[in-house]
Structure 1
């Protein structure tokens, strides 16, 4: 069985997109530390704002937990807005 001449050409044609994808991935992943530093320095990333977000998320999770545990339609409940 002789090696078909089309095999090396097919391998080369399939290796080019893989190599190009790998090169693009390396180029994009190389800037990850700079992106992380930019996100850390973003407005609203201070400790007080983060604590406020955590508290807000905890309230939302408590409401979702309550809604999951009851058979009532909690969306139609009267809400006291003076919390």
Structure 2
């Protein structure tokens, strides 16, 4: 009886590993899908990349200004009245 239990447990474990691998193989995109995703990233378009750089520079400037002032800029830019 113990031998049969060991065999069934082993088969169950192998089946679970096989099912997990099957699900993983279905979910992971193929090479063509990966290339398409990479092509549509913002970094691949120079105009969008420049726009992102400009936006990041503006955000860093706002953070720098906020760090240098004692005013609460969350209530509005320019301080309290």
CA-based RMSD of the aligned residues comes to 3.2
Map Cα deviations across residues 29-76 of structure 1 (whole Å, 9 max, x no partner): 351x32232124439652111110122123224434554676642211
Where structure 2 has 5 or more consecutive residues not aligned to the other structure, the ranges are: none
Which structure's residues are more often helix, by fraction?
2
TM-score normalised by the chain length of structure 2: 0.59
TM-score normalised by the chain length of structure 1: 0.58
Larger relative contact order (Cα-Cα within 8 Å, sequence gap ≥ 6): 2
Number of equivalent positions:
77
Where structure 1 has 5 or more consecutive residues not aligned to the other structure, the ranges are: none
